[in-house]
Structure 1
Amino acid sequence: MSGRLRRPLPCCAYLPPSPPKFCSCTACFQCPLLHCLVPDGRCPDCTVTHSGDGPLSLTLMSTTTDWLRGLGEPELIGLLRARPDLAVPAPTDLASLARRLDTPPSVWRAMENLNQFEVQILTALVVLGAPTKPVTPAQVAAFLGRSAAKKQITLALVELEKLALARGSTYKYVPASVAEALGPYPGGLGPETSLDFASVATKLTSVPERGLAILERLAQGPPVGSVGAGAAIGPIVRDLINIDLLISRGSGSVELPREVGLHFRGKSPLGAIVAAPVRPDPATVGQDPVDGTAAGQSLELLRQLHRTLDLLAAQPPAVLKAGGLGIRESKKLAKELGADESQVSLYLEVLAAGGLITGAPALVNRGLKVWAATSTADEWLASPDEQAWSAIVQVWLDLRRDPARAGKRDINDKILGILTPELTWLRGPADRRWVLAPLAALPSGSGWTPEQLGQVLAWEAPLRGADRRDRVVSTVLGQATTMGIVAFNSLSSAGRALLEGSENVASTLAKSLPVPLETFLVQADLTVIAPGRLTSILALRLAAAAEVESAGSATVYRVTPASIRRALDTGLSRGELHQLFDHHSSTPIPQALTYLIDDVARRHGVLRTGHSEAYLRCDDTVMVDQAIAHMASVGIVLRKLAPTVAITRTSLDELIVELRKAGLAPAAEDEFGAILTKPATVTRAKPPLVTHQRWREPATPNDEQLAALVARMRFAESSNLVSVQSPTEALAELRAAATARGSVWIEYVNTEGATSRRLIEPLAISGGTISAFDRLSKQMRTFAVHRIVGIQDAGPADEA
């Protein structure tokens, strides 16, 4: 055989400019690594066994099923542990596992958590042709250049092998499904052509500077572009197509050949190789300032949530027909809360997810559905601050909705409303933990800016799109700050306890909260200053008798006639109001406040209502006429029995609500005419049936369970059970059995992933389900076709 080196095939173009080492064993006429023609000689690294002279016949890559059969029990258990989705529902045999292993959803789940270096290794394998031919680790190292150490490459390949994304020992290959998951342009490189490095370099010598700029721009990726008719660069692009430096795809679209892109990228075909995790220098503030600031924000969050519940109780907004809250109502809430609409969306979403508000029939118009507080809200409002905060932040962490999307437009250019079904975010719990986990790994009191955190996450999961990743980081950090979990871009101590799943979240926050006060300052202008955090009972009583003007480390209230009337409506007497301010004020009570309480209390309850269904009476006939007129305007009919008495079929509670809305001050009385001074009952909706559920990682089977599963799959390999993975195949088998009126054995997976074997007689198939007679239980059953993972024809003995 001649020792003259023949022209190599295009696959050699992937090698760097330095001369490659060809296999030159006497029996081989092709390179077993690169499939290139080689000279005679003996290659000391050749381990392929040949029979006679002539070209080498490389062994074809095994199928996924054959590859799984070649794995030992430890390797199979390791695969199922690394990719737990493969075990649910339990596959019946290795053929079922093989089909599931290469499905796009399973492949993507395995790939989305690869770090940047592992993705670059996987991309190098694909670019080097691993989906169709074996590739060695040495080729990967040569392709990536000196920036990647061989040891690091070896470790990355081991991780890829554990996930079954790269297979083989000496020679690596990649399944086609993995290459497809990387997209049509792996690493931003175009399709492979017949060009080689030498011909590319020769052709580029005749390209003008403007043409080189076009090629260099496409080489950075993506390798596709388009040129409009009559564009100035049109002639240059046509010339590049004519000399094969660009590929025409019609309609002005072009692609850059892979070999040209590699030429321009030089020694960094996949960009900078970063094998070590990205860890920017964090800013250190100190844990005490972080905890103090976060605790203050926690109190502000609770104040806003309390205020939101009060506003919903006073004027419940209507539920839209499509669900959610109207834009006008959301803007009104934002104005009254002094918050932006994104914060209002966050408040309402966590309240709804926690079962504190729900859609319920309106009090007056039962045909109208409104957003109202539930009876669960009263329990939450009465709980200590730290416990209330712990409950609400756990709801946020596990929230499967995205409040930040409210107010934005969907793909149909429709504005998404607050609490609408379109705000569903199933990955929300996992994504929030994914964003906050790097902050939890930092020392206490240290943090990263959103940009730095984005860099960290970009290395840890580069396959998550940059736009989506940045939006998730911005959203989660912003909401975590609003919730009092993060301050100064650092996790608070209570936030760390929350992420760890600790039961001590409330007690951890309590250590950072200021000591609650029992006193406040009353000033001559009828303002009340709470210089710190009040006890929960005192805060509720003061909020009932005064309006909040400003909140913060010190809260400013103002006492008004309306606030005093509201306190009297809730059942507080004049004496109790005087006692509230006399007992808790550190300053003398101004005379103006005493006069105000006495004046409002004297006029309160002049108008009386009672049960008829309801009646109304008052010694002032003018006020009776005024009340009748106001009620008629809202659809409540009052009939006069006397100049001072009127009755109605409307319930007493509804009548009082509407009279108070009209600016009147009614008081309820009992059957003896005594004023009911007990606290008025606040109407609450029933809690929703489905409330907050803690998010947990799916349970991972232990080694004993995985070993049993592997044993069952090995045993199934020797049986005649026909594995059925797709619903189409299952339907075909079942229809044949139904037509023949025969029985079949099926492997059926229940909702918990457990597999059982049943003997059934199929009768009717419709809508993805099958009605069949279960011969073992002697009853009719309905089975979901997608849960049938194996079918076997029943024998004569089974039929009997």
Structure 2
Amino acid sequence: MASALLSWLALRSPDELAKILERRPDALPAADLDTLAERLERESSAAAALSTVPLPQAQVVEALAGLGGPSVEPDRLADLLGRPDLTEALAGLAELALVWPDEDGALRMAAPLWSFFEFPLGLGPPAGTLLETVDGDRLAGIAGTWRVRPDRPRQLVGAVAAVLADGQRVRAAVEAAPADTRALLDRLAHDGPMADQPDPALAWALDRGLVFPDGWRRATMPREVAVALRGTDWRAPFDPRLPALAVNLAPAAAVEREAVAAGTLALQRAGALLDLAGHSPLAVLRTGGVGPRELRRAAKLIGSDETEVRLWLELGYAAGLLGLVDETVAPTAAYDEWRAASPAERLATLLTTWLTLPTVATADGRPGGGPQLAALLPDLAWAPVLDGRPGLLRLLGTLPPGRGAAASGEVVAALRWRLPVVLPAPADLLVEGTLREARLLGVVAHGALSPFGRALAEAPETLVAVGAGLLPDAVAEAIFEADLTALVPGLPAAPLATLLDTAAERTAADGNASTWRFTAGSVRAALDAGFTAETLLAALRIVAADGTLPQVLAYLVEDVGRQHGLVRVRAVGCVLRIESPALATELLGARSLRSLGLAALAPTILSSPRSADETLDALRAAGYSPAGEDATGAAVVRRAPRVRATPRRRPGQVPAARPAPVVDLVELAGRLLDRGVSEPARPRLVAAGGTSTPTERPLLWLVPDSPEPEPDPGEPAEVVAAEVRRHTPQLDARQRDLLVYAIVVGGPVSIDYRTAGGDFSSRVVEPLELDGNRMVAWCRLREDERVFGLNRIEGVRPA
């Protein structure tokens, strides 16, 4: 028997079905309408679609769940919501295939949504459901309290349920209840159906079936009782209009000016933190993450505050500019490339990283209460920001030109209206923190989207071009003052910043200028880095705006230079302790040992710049029999090291996906409708990178039976197909085709797998190569490469 959704889909026009496919791309590939309907009603797919709807549509779904399925008459829904115009909300839900009318006009809903809300509208389960869990004696006692005497015992549940659904009778009974019981029942009716047991105030209500025990020290109020106690005037909430958003003047020139200043300062501060991590790595706590003490230290050194430092740290780490080494956070090789890039390229990296940053680094706490976790620790409490941040940009993008949001509280309300399922309530912490970060990065200024913000929201690939047109060029010269400071107006170029960071201490950066101060210690550090007094002064004169340096700075450098190196320290790789001076002399003169660079420290003590292992090997190769010892003189036992190969890919690194084909959704919809519910559809592929209409979109997977993709030249498709057919008799043809496609063309696929020990799991893998019955794949569950036996794969689905 066809499902209600399948029957409804079969009656859609190609344009209507194409719109559903465009809004629900995760349901593809679909070879027929049966498959499409099944995928549209998967719990994960339906929940993902619901997370995109605005408040009125979410309220309709919750109201339907409160009324209970499998279908609801439109009049019942309208009565519950106060008889508003539901046309727009229902049309929006139909475009997502979440709610639709059946042939009789009743409203149907995707099956997982009936149970999506734990307590829809704050209501518990129906009385009939709770009565089914009650034993016979208790049921008889409840019926006796209400003086219910059905003709047949098996009608008792229905009879008691009918009484509890009689709002007037329930309200009259509760009026006669003890005061504490009335207060408790009123709270359960309005604030949620669950109460803790034991509670003396519950006894009276339990005897009458106004609440039911669950056997776990909790009691639940039936849906009908709560509705009755809310009164005859109660209606479920329905808010069809976006909350008013007060605006203020935000002239384009002022927005641009503030955004450029903020973006420039962000580059200065982020660059300063990353530079700091390069010469003074940030320590990681034993429990993981970077703690408040290190954040305060970094903030003091770069002239920022702890909150901002946390943001720059999170962005640098997420962008791959920072990494972990020896329990510290230090720059990666990618940082050197980023630092040498143009200001526009550097800012584009920070902004695109921020858009997908899985935390709100500048928030004053965590959702639900409590302080922030240590920086860089993953925190699932912030997961809603992944939808909330793009949603905020889209919201601000709807404001009229020259206007900006006046109050953050109203922005919170408006964003909650747009994303009610995603954003927690209250969402103030998340939204206000996101707004703060947007201002720090120059994405938002004066409450309006800046040119950077608009590019980030609408066309991230244009960010570099937008930045190049707005951000000033990096400054390659500095102004040296008589107070031993150097001032760089604007964003310092990488070579200039490197020179000044080497010879001076960065003291401030405000977006308009950066300041460094020379001290005896900073100059000494430059000399330690390889400069001499003469070469340092020459380098500083080259970058001086007027080609000259203040006399006081020259005196400082020359004075430190005269004292530098009066005491010299030599690095020694190892020390040789020899039993006789004669043998020591022999070693010093041995031609075969010249590579060791031996030097006499005492008659029987020699030094070598080479490591102890290298020195031991060289001595043995020259015919001597040395013995190793530690710093205390104890003998060192030398064992052959175990060799370990470097993995082909770091854990967590995902291979780049091949370009996805583009499918004409209108044509696909037409073929699905023409072929009915059994024959597979054959969509036309539009060349990737070519022009496409709004109903043509890239798909992560090729639809079955479409033209053959370009196979990987290293793995001929026919060879892979033959191997898969030979080793997977347990799979059907469609599952084998999906597996072959994943191996040949690339991309993720979901498999059901049973190990040799009998353990079963479902996981998403990305096949890398096939060797007979063995498939090497990147396993997202384990974040590592794994080998899977084809004969142990029990199912294959699109990821």
- TM-score (ref. length: structure 1): 0.65
Query: Residues 94-153 of structure 1, C-alpha deviation per residue, up to 9 Å, x if partnerless?
Result: 444444333321221122222221222233333344x14x4332332233224x13xxx1
Q: Does structure 2 conserve the Cα–Cα contact (< 8 Å) formed by 1:145 and 1:268?
A: no
Map of 1:179 onto structure 2: 114
Map of 2:736 onto structure 1: 748
Query: Residues 179-214 of structure 1, C-alpha deviation per residue, up to 9 Å, x if partnerless?
Result: 111224445466344222332344355356665544
Shift of 1:340: 4.9
Q: Alignment partner of 2:238: what SS?
A: coil
Q: Does structure 1 conserve the Cα–Cα contact (< 8 Å) formed by 2:352 and 2:460?
A: no
Q: In the TM superposition, what are the counterparts of 1:113-152 in structure 2 within 5 Å?
A: 113-129=52-68, 131-132=69-70, 134-146=71-83, 148-149=84-85
Q: In the TM superposition, what are the counterparts of 1:438-453 in structure 2 within 5 Å?
A: 438-443=395-400, 444-447=402-405, 449-453=407-411
Question: Is residue 355 of structure 2 the alignment partner of residue 397 of structure 1?
Answer: yes
Map of 1:161 onto structure 2: 94
- 2:90 maps to amino acid: L
Partner Cα separation in structure 2 for residue 650 and residue 313 of structure 1: 27
Query: Residues 426-478 of structure 1, C-alpha deviation per residue, up to 9 Å, x if partnerless?
Result: 77654421232211222345125432222112212222353474443234223
Q: Does structure 2 conserve the Cα–Cα contact (< 8 Å) formed by 1:91 and 1:713?
A: no
Partner Cα separation in structure 2 for residue 287 and residue 739 of structure 1: 64
Shift of 1:337: 3.5
Map of 1:287 onto structure 2: 252
Please give the root-mean-square deviation of Cα atoms over the aligned residues, in Å: 5.0
Partner Cα separation in structure 1 for residue 10 and residue 18 of structure 2: 13
Partner Cα separation in structure 2 for residue 198 and residue 69 of structure 1: 45
Partner Cα separation in structure 2 for residue 473 and residue 786 of structure 1: 44
Map of 2:267 onto structure 1: 302
In structure 2, relative to structure 1, the CA distance for the partners of 1:698 and 1:429 (3 Å cut) is farther
Partner Cα separation in structure 1 for residue 727 and residue 26 of structure 2: 35
- TM-score (ref. length: structure 2): 0.65
In structure 2, relative to structure 1, the CA distance for the partners of 1:607 and 1:414 (3 Å cut) is same
Shift of 1:745: 4.4
In structure 2, relative to structure 1, the CA distance for the partners of 1:596 and 1:202 (3 Å cut) is closer
Shift of 1:595: 1.4
The structure 1 residue matched to 2:173, chosen from 193, 203, 216, is 203
Q: Which is worse superposed, 499-508 or 694-703?
A: 694-703
Partner Cα separation in structure 2 for residue 698 and residue 714 of structure 1: 26
Q: Does structure 1 conserve the Cα–Cα contact (< 8 Å) formed by 2:507 and 2:515?
A: yes
In structure 2, relative to structure 1, the CA distance for the partners of 1:178 and 1:97 (3 Å cut) is same
Q: In the TM superposition, what are the counterparts of 1:365-514 in structure 2 within 5 Å?
A: 368=326, 370-400=328-358, 403=361, 416-420=373-377, 429-443=386-400, 444-447=402-405, 449-464=407-422, 466-467=424-425, 469-513=427-471
Q: Alignment partner of 1:496: what SS?
A: helix
In structure 2, relative to structure 1, the CA distance for the partners of 1:716 and 1:506 (3 Å cut) is closer
- 1:101 maps to amino acid: L
Q: Does structure 2 conserve the Cα–Cα contact (< 8 Å) formed by 1:485 and 1:492?
A: yes
Q: In the TM superposition, what are the counterparts of 1:238-277 in structure 2 within 5 Å?
A: 238-249=203-214, 253-266=218-231, 269-277=234-242
In structure 2, relative to structure 1, the CA distance for the partners of 1:267 and 1:701 (3 Å cut) is farther
Partner Cα separation in structure 1 for residue 598 and residue 300 of structure 2: 36
Shift of 1:586: 6.4
Q: Does structure 1 conserve the Cα–Cα contact (< 8 Å) formed by 2:356 and 2:386?
A: yes
Partner Cα separation in structure 1 for residue 80 and residue 297 of structure 2: 61
Q: Does structure 1 conserve the Cα–Cα contact (< 8 Å) formed by 2:412 and 2:432?
A: no
- 1:574 maps to amino acid: A
Query: Residues 396-429 of structure 1, C-alpha deviation per residue, up to 9 Å, x if partnerless?
Result: 2234566569997999x99954334667977765
Q: Alignment partner of 2:552: what SS?
A: helix
Question: Is residue 536 of structure 2 the alignment partner of residue 561 of structure 1?
Answer: no
- 1:565 maps to amino acid: R
Query: Residues 509-542 of structure 1, C-alpha deviation per residue, up to 9 Å, x if partnerless?
Result: 4555467666655444323344555555444433
The structure 1 residue matched to 2:314, chosen from 332, 341, 349, is 349
Q: Does structure 1 conserve the Cα–Cα contact (< 8 Å) formed by 2:728 and 2:736?
A: no
Q: Does structure 2 conserve the Cα–Cα contact (< 8 Å) formed by 1:354 and 1:692?
A: no
- 2:109 maps to amino acid: V
Unmatched 5+ stretches in structure 2: 128-160, 576-596, 612-648, 682-724, 745-752, 763-769, 775-788
In structure 2, relative to structure 1, the CA distance for the partners of 1:532 and 1:155 (3 Å cut) is closer
- 2:316 maps to amino acid: L
Partner Cα separation in structure 1 for residue 350 and residue 755 of structure 2: 49
Q: Alignment partner of 2:224: what SS?
A: helix
Map of 1:107 onto structure 2: 46
Q: Does structure 2 conserve the Cα–Cα contact (< 8 Å) formed by 1:384 and 1:536?
A: no
- 2:442 maps to amino acid: G
- 2:259 maps to amino acid: A
The structure 2 residue matched to 1:714, chosen from 673, 677, 680, is 677
In structure 2, relative to structure 1, the CA distance for the partners of 1:546 and 1:611 (3 Å cut) is closer
In structure 2, relative to structure 1, the CA distance for the partners of 1:605 and 1:389 (3 Å cut) is farther
Q: Does structure 2 conserve the Cα–Cα contact (< 8 Å) formed by 1:550 and 1:556?
A: yes
Partner Cα separation in structure 2 for residue 522 and residue 254 of structure 1: 76
Q: Alignment partner of 1:274: what SS?
A: coil
In structure 2, relative to structure 1, the CA distance for the partners of 1:241 and 1:426 (3 Å cut) is closer
Partner Cα separation in structure 1 for residue 363 and residue 33 of structure 2: 43
Q: Does structure 2 conserve the Cα–Cα contact (< 8 Å) formed by 1:405 and 1:423?
A: no
In structure 2, relative to structure 1, the CA distance for the partners of 1:315 and 1:520 (3 Å cut) is closer
In structure 2, relative to structure 1, the CA distance for the partners of 1:113 and 1:739 (3 Å cut) is closer
Q: Alignment partner of 2:436: what SS?
A: helix
Partner Cα separation in structure 1 for residue 480 and residue 429 of structure 2: 46
Q: Does structure 2 conserve the Cα–Cα contact (< 8 Å) formed by 1:528 and 1:558?
A: yes
Question: Is residue 324 of structure 2 the alignment partner of residue 316 of structure 1?
Answer: no
Partner Cα separation in structure 2 for residue 127 and residue 488 of structure 1: 42
Paired-residue identity, %: 27
Q: Does structure 1 conserve the Cα–Cα contact (< 8 Å) formed by 2:247 and 2:403?
A: no
Map of 1:528 onto structure 2: 486
In structure 2, relative to structure 1, the CA distance for the partners of 1:642 and 1:482 (3 Å cut) is farther
Question: Is residue 560 of structure 2 the alignment partner of residue 600 of structure 1?
Answer: yes
In structure 2, relative to structure 1, the CA distance for the partners of 1:690 and 1:298 (3 Å cut) is farther
Q: Does structure 2 conserve the Cα–Cα contact (< 8 Å) formed by 1:358 and 1:373?
A: yes
In structure 2, relative to structure 1, the CA distance for the partners of 1:248 and 1:160 (3 Å cut) is same
How many matched pairs? 626
Partner Cα separation in structure 2 for residue 471 and residue 699 of structure 1: 41
Q: Does structure 2 conserve the Cα–Cα contact (< 8 Å) formed by 1:185 and 1:223?
A: no
Unmatched 5+ stretches in structure 1: 1-59, 361-367, 616-636, 652-686, 719-736, 757-761, 771-776, 791-800
Q: Does structure 1 conserve the Cα–Cα contact (< 8 Å) formed by 2:34 and 2:678?
A: no
Map of 1:86 onto structure 2: 27
Map of 2:194 onto structure 1: 224
- 2:557 maps to amino acid: I
